[in-house]
Structure 1
Amino acid sequence: MTHQIQPVVLCGGSGTRLWPLSRKTLPKQFAPLIGNKSLLVLTLERLRLLNPNVTCVAAEEHRFLVQEAIDDAKVSGKQLLEPVARNTAAAMAAVALLADPEQLLLFAPADHHIPDPERFAATVLKGVPAALAGHVVAFGVEPSFPSTAYGYIRQGERLDAALGDDAGHAVAAFIEKPAAERAEQLLLEGGNLWNAGILLVQAKVLIAALQAHADDILDSCRLATADMQPDGDFLRMDSAAFARCRSQSIDYAVLEKCERVAVIPFQGRWSDVGSWNAVADLHGADADGNQISGQGYAMGASNTFIHAPCRPVVALGTKDLLVVDTPDALLVMHRDCAEQVKDVVTLLTTQGQSQATQHRRIPRPWGAYDSIDAGDRFAVKRLTVKPGARLALRMHHHRAEHWVVVKGTARVLCDDKAQLVKENESIYIPVGAVYRLENAGKTSLEVIEVQTGGYLGDDDIVRFDEGGTQVLGETRKLA
């Protein structure tokens, strides 16, 4: 029965409450968070139990991050690229329109943590009979405490016995994120589940529900998907048509209005990893309640969480703190302030701080670069190039570059002269030279790049196509 299910991972979202780890250029679903794996990789590995072919819906700017996660999780599948963010209703509508009408689609967020993948897969399979009978099947989590951070689903009558003993209940109501007193009442009442945001539905059923309750979103997505532009495993929609689509979640657009919605409870551990308190809860605590990730040390501290992936971070005599360290930003806050981190991002953005949205390490199709240091007339970067990958042919008007290979073997083309540069060797790229860097080996290539010159801006670049013709009217932020 697993072959009937097509997993679809919704990779949108900025995750501002997990700043400084999560930023616009690298949202939380792509950042290494648990066991040096990203939440997206863990999600793909979990869905692999149902079907190793997985569809991802992602922003254009994150396409290569998604591809890396697909490769790391050892799954395959197409990526549907969104030119702009338009929330879950539009993303799901586009997928449904491109699918076979009879196809069972399992929509799952990319940023949830479910440590028992086998139990998750078994729970999803319980929803197949109801989904084939025309229901939109939601999955709810048995609440363990009165959370104010999650929406709730109230279970109604059991579904027809013909669908099986585990087919679930009809949904009586969707309840918005409640205040603390209301959350306690919902827990005491029983029969209320946390809304996990995971849905199983046939493509034709979802399309019919959208037609009935959000026909404008469906119409926009029909236009956007009418003439798809394939690029390898990437699928691009019509940008203008998709941009005109109304932005709304599937909950508001469809589920709260639809009559045939069922819910099945999931009884394992689940977290949407929506705050640093939620991240802390994923780690075991010592006798004093301290939770450590990475190179953290707690001395005379209590109830303190430390996230320190890069360097030693010591909390001395602290209490009830969350400490999050990254190479270019540090966050220290009281545990009660975890929901206010998004306000910090807003403040830094208004102050023009690049750390609000960008990491020091910038992913690129060929690998990544890390801006190590910069000053007047110089900049130092560490380039990491994937095996077989290469940077585009280019030239700079105002800067020279000096490369030192510290790992692997580089093939460098400089003014029509090609040469191999091995570990502990270097090469100089003068101002005005037309050059390209390529990883000639089968392992990762690491290069220290020193830029010098009167102007080091990212727009000082002339790009060339493979035939050596200048590409006009195009500048990109490159290493």
Structure 2
Amino acid sequence: MLVPVILSGGAGTRLWPVSRSAYPKPFMRMGDGQSLLGKTLARALRCADAAPVLTVTGRDYYFLTRDEYAQAGADLDRLPFLLEPAGRNTAPAVVLAALYARDHIAPDATLLVLPADHLIRDNEAFAADVGRAARLAQDGWLVTFGIRPTHPETGFGYIRMGEAIAAPAPRRSRALAPEADAVQECVDCTCAAEATTAAPLGRAVQAFVEKPNTQIAEGYVASGEYVWNSGMFCFRADTLLEVAAQVCPDVLAAAQACHAQATSHESPVEYAREAFLVQPDISIDYAIMERAPRVAVVPATFDWSDIGSWKAMSSLDAADGEGNRVYGQAVLVESANCYVQSQGRVVAAVGVQDLVIVDTGDAVLVSHRERAQAVKQVVERLRADNHSAASVHQTVHRPWGSYTVLEDAADCKVKRLTVKPGHVLSLQLHHRRSEHWTVVDGVAKVRIGEREFLLNRNESAYIPMETVHRLENPTNTDIHLIEVQCGDYFGEDDIVRLEDRYGRVASR
């Protein structure tokens, strides 16, 4: 049984201002309108057949991820979630997934670990390579996928490949009839000799190599013996746990304790925060793959990009005659080799070259293409200044829907709210602001103090400070409202939640 494990999250720094900590790269929309997470799910479902697909993600991303899966038409009943209460590295995430698979799916389930922020377009070649990796995993190998380098990249780790690994000899089993001594051949092979002459499934890993400088990377590419480390893996759950017990017992022990203290063993599985934070903050590469005795690499035949920068993003699609790529509304005059992305507003560029220009409505990035990696320094400065643009967009997603900030002034704040069918905001009050709600479309169920009533389109309600209130959508279509806040402070930490369907704490 092949069980994909999707790892989804991230800090949202290298692709700011589109990617932010509250809406990281997996949720970014590509040119076809589909998110990277949605594309990863589609690949996973294609490989999984009827098996479940696990998703390991942060608790804050749970409802957003469910919405993404629902929009893709996926059956949520076969998509268990493992929810992390805080950010951690990949080793804890993968070991926890292996423990879950061992206890709830099958100890010998083959796990296919897929980061949610990779772009792969050739799904047929991907499925074929996964098939090779799965065969190696069933034979006890820990498998990674290597990407044939197209240039001397200094931002990736490399894998030095060793000897080829042939397909294992076909298994033979006793005939079902008890009186027969004959053996029954594997239906996929006719003899062991054919297996030995078949194309190898992969190659043994000689070494994992850190990110090189340009000169060393050029040598790696020229040798043909090195591939980029993609961060995708395939192994049996029981094999991974056995190897972890040998090479990183501290990681395994901490994960086992965390697994045992999970608040629920039904999806979504939530881990106790204290037990989760005890786990070492270490990648699966360092903790297991680089120390394991039998590690193989399948050189990928599929295309691959981790879209790690705006320069990489700008290289995904064909350019026009001047080398420009434009998404959204833009006017370029006497400009060349530029990437422009705009959400709503018109961007004009005159007499410029080799620029990345990204406009999200509340923030604008202008960078030289070769310096696009340095955008993370912008995010660091925004965080140091406690600026909201480091983490959230104008449109902020919530479990019940979303809101878009239309105006944020010293004396008022105006939002447009969208509440999904059947969802309800928390029962809450505010100490430092009053609110006015006006329904733009739909019918809302409102509680203000002890009163409950319906608010129809073009009707308004007033909520004084210190007054308990709640908003609900009792219909089967979205409702849209304008919320005007008046007071001297409009931060989200002025929300005092008394009841909440989604388990959020008062200050969230």
- 8 Å contact 1:47–1:121 — kept in the other structure? no
Give the equivalent residue in structure 2 for 1:56. 55
CA gap of 1:12–1:461, structure 2 versus 1, over 3 A, is: closer
Give the secondary-structure state (helix, strand or coil) at the position aligned to 1:93: helix
1:451 alignment partner, one of 479, 485, 494: 485
Give the secondary-structure state (helix, strand or coil) at the position aligned to 2:47: coil
CA gap of 1:212–1:200, structure 2 versus 1, over 3 A, is: same
Give the equivalent residue in structure 2 for 1:239. 273
Give the equivalent residue in structure 2 for 1:131. 137
Give the secondary-structure state (helix, strand or coil) at the position aligned to 2:296: strand
The number of aligned residues is: 470
Once residues 505 and 204 of structure 2 are traced to their aligned partners in structure 1, the CA distance between those partners, rounded to angstroms, is 54
1:411 lines up with 2:421 in the alignment = no
Give the equivalent residue in structure 1 for 2:192. none
- 8 Å contact 2:261–2:275 — kept in the other structure? no
Once residues 309 and 493 of structure 2 are traced to their aligned partners in structure 1, the CA distance between those partners, rounded to angstroms, is 36
Larger mean CA deviation between 130-139 and 50-59 belongs to: 50-59
CA gap of 1:188–1:92, structure 2 versus 1, over 3 A, is: same
Structure 2, unaligned runs of 5 or more: 170-194
TM-score by length of 1: 0.93
1:9 alignment partner, one of 6, 9, 13: 6
Once residues 122 and 342 of structure 1 are traced to their aligned partners in structure 2, the CA distance between those partners, rounded to angstroms, is 36
Give the equivalent residue in structure 1 for 2:289. 255
Q: Which runs of 4+ in 1 moved over 6 A?
A: none
Give the equivalent residue in structure 1 for 2:181. none
Give the equivalent residue in structure 1 for 2:356. 322
Give the secondary-structure state (helix, strand or coil) at the position aligned to 1:285: coil
Once residues 454 and 127 of structure 1 are traced to their aligned partners in structure 2, the CA distance between those partners, rounded to angstroms, is 59
Give the equivalent residue in structure 2 for 1:83. 85
- 8 Å contact 2:13–2:376 — kept in the other structure? yes
Percent sequence identity over matched residues? 41
1:193 lines up with 2:192 in the alignment = no
CA gap of 1:232–1:430, structure 2 versus 1, over 3 A, is: farther
Once residues 235 and 392 of structure 1 are traced to their aligned partners in structure 2, the CA distance between those partners, rounded to angstroms, is 23
1:141-156 map, 5 Å:
141-156=147-162
CA gap of 1:317–1:369, structure 2 versus 1, over 3 A, is: same
Once residues 456 and 161 of structure 1 are traced to their aligned partners in structure 2, the CA distance between those partners, rounded to angstroms, is 63
TM-score by length of 2: 0.88
1:423 lines up with 2:447 in the alignment = no
CA gap of 1:255–1:463, structure 2 versus 1, over 3 A, is: closer
CA-to-partner distance for each residue in 1:155-178, whole Å, 9 max, x for gaps?
211113436534111112212222
- Residue 139 of structure 1: CA displacement? 0.9
Letter in 2 for 1:141: I
Letter in 2 for 1:109: P
CA-to-partner distance for each residue in 1:123-179, whole Å, 9 max, x for gaps?
101212110000011111222222122222222111134365341111122122221
Give the equivalent residue in structure 1 for 2:507. 476
Give the secondary-structure state (helix, strand or coil) at the position aligned to 2:42: helix
Letter in 2 for 1:285: A
CA gap of 1:443–1:284, structure 2 versus 1, over 3 A, is: farther
- 8 Å contact 1:223–1:238 — kept in the other structure? no
CA-to-partner distance for each residue in 1:8-56, whole Å, 9 max, x for gaps?
0111321311111111111111233442222111111121101263211
Once residues 29 and 415 of structure 2 are traced to their aligned partners in structure 1, the CA distance between those partners, rounded to angstroms, is 21
1:95 lines up with 2:101 in the alignment = no
Give the secondary-structure state (helix, strand or coil) at the position aligned to 1:99: helix
Give the equivalent residue in structure 2 for 1:22. 19
Once residues 327 and 109 of structure 2 are traced to their aligned partners in structure 1, the CA distance between those partners, rounded to angstroms, is 41
CA gap of 1:319–1:130, structure 2 versus 1, over 3 A, is: same
1:64-463 map, 5 Å:
64-75=63-74, 76=76, 77-100=79-102, 101-162=107-168, 165-230=199-264, 233-463=267-497
- Residue 235 of structure 1: CA displacement? 0.6
- 8 Å contact 1:29–1:39 — kept in the other structure? yes
- 8 Å contact 1:414–1:436 — kept in the other structure? yes
Q: Which one has the bigger strand percentage?
A: 1
- 8 Å contact 2:425–2:500 — kept in the other structure? no
Letter in 2 for 1:18: L
Structure 1, unaligned runs of 5 or more: none
- Residue 198 of structure 1: CA displacement? 0.7
- Residue 474 of structure 1: CA displacement? 5.3
Give the equivalent residue in structure 2 for 1:47. 44
Once residues 250 and 231 of structure 1 are traced to their aligned partners in structure 2, the CA distance between those partners, rounded to angstroms, is 24
